[in-house]
């Protein structure tokens, strides 16, 4: 009996020291764990990419594009030299901001937003228009073809008699904020003399809201040259 008891104890001792899982199984489990970690990391990266895509912001070579609005049709394109708001469906529809014009626009955001709220309430006849900066029209003479130089000089002389001026406006007729370039004959100071051009973009109210609440902050955070720009009336060397 003693011999049998000793044999039984020895057998139980061997069972306790025997690995629970064979080495092949342990290796397989480690490989599976590594694969699961890789899959988790991939899923995390995909989530981050999806979040970036959902925000509508994309960066490429110093240029940032931001898609705004429920229709995903309006695009804000920003560089250190300025901002352009354009339409995907209608590429001809766009308006551009130099740094100084952008400064005018940003300084007026609160005022424009109050008008947008009044427009949305529809409680009274509504008409709003505000000036947001000028810019002379001209031709890059450094790239003029010699054969047409005389014609281009005449054209430049004609164009320089007009001032390109920019306005933001809104009316009851359309629930949108209109950004448009106008032509004002040189020497005329009355708004009644301005003539609208086709260089414009209309922001629906949802697009305007995203522009004010998100896009402007993104642009100014990414491009200090735009954030630091000042309207001409605030510059010390402004002479006009």
pLDDT in tens, 22-56: 555 545 555 545 556 556 545 544 544 444 445 56
pLDDT in tens, 189-238: 666 677 888 889 999 999 999 999 999 999 999 999 999 998 765 543 44
Task: Identify which of 82, 78, 89, 81 has the alpha carbon closest to the alpha carbon of residue 56.
Answer: 78
Predicted pLDDT of residue 236: 39
Q: Are 63 and 70 in contact (CB under 8 A)?
A: no
Q: Please state the pTM of the whole predicted model.
A: 0.64
Predicted pLDDT of residue 127: 85
Predicted pLDDT of residue 144: 43
Per-residue pLDDT at 115 exceeds 80:
yes
pLDDT in tens, 78-99: 999 999 999 999 999 999 999 9
Q: Are 74 and 203 in contact (CB under 8 A)?
A: yes
Predicted pLDDT of residue 240: 34
Q: Are 106 and 113 in contact (CB under 8 A)?
A: no
Predicted pLDDT of residue 223: 95
Task: Identify which of 226, 193, 237 has the alpha carbon closest to the alpha carbon of residue 104.
Answer: 226
Predicted pLDDT of residue 237: 42
Coil, strand or helix: which one is 172? coil
Predicted pLDDT of residue 143: 42
pLDDT in tens, 127-169: 888 888 765 444 344 444 554 556 655 555 555 455 678 899 9
> In this structure, how many other beta carbons lie within 10 angstroms of the beta carbon of residue 146?
7
Give the C-alpha separation, 6 to 128, whole Å.
103
Give the C-alpha separation, 111 to 156, whole Å.
36
């Amino acid at each position: 009996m003693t011999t049998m008891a000793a044999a039984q104890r020895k057998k139980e001792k061997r069972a306790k020291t025997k690995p629970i899982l064979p080495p092949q199984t342990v290796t397989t489990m480690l490989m599976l764990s590594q694969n699961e970690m890789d899959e988790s990391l991939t899923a995390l990266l995909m989530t981050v990419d999806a979040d970036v895509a959902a925000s509508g912001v994309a960066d490429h070579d110093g240029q940032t594009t931001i898609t705004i609005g429920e229709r995903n049709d309006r695009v804000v394109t920003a560089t250190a030299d300025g901002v352009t708001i354009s339409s995907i469906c209608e590429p001809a529809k766009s308006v551009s901001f130099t740094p100084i014009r952008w400064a005018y626009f940003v300084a007026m955001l609160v005022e424009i937003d109050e008008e947008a709220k009044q427009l949305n309430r529809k409680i009274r006849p509504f008409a709003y228009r505000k000036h947001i900066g000028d810019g002379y029209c001209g031709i890059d003479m450094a790239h003029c073809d010699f054969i047409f130089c005389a014609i281009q000089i005449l054209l430049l002389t004609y164009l320089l008699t007009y001032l390109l001026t920019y306005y933001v406006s809104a009316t009851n007729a359309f629930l949108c904020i209109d950004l448009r370039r106008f032509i004002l004959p040189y020497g005329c100071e009355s708004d009644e003399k301005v003539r609208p051009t086709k260089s414009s973009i209309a922001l629906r109210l949802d697009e305007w809201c995203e522009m004010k609440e998100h896009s402007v902050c993104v642009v100014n955070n990414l491009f200090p040259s735009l954030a630091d720009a000042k309207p001409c009336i605030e510059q010390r060397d402004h002479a006009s």
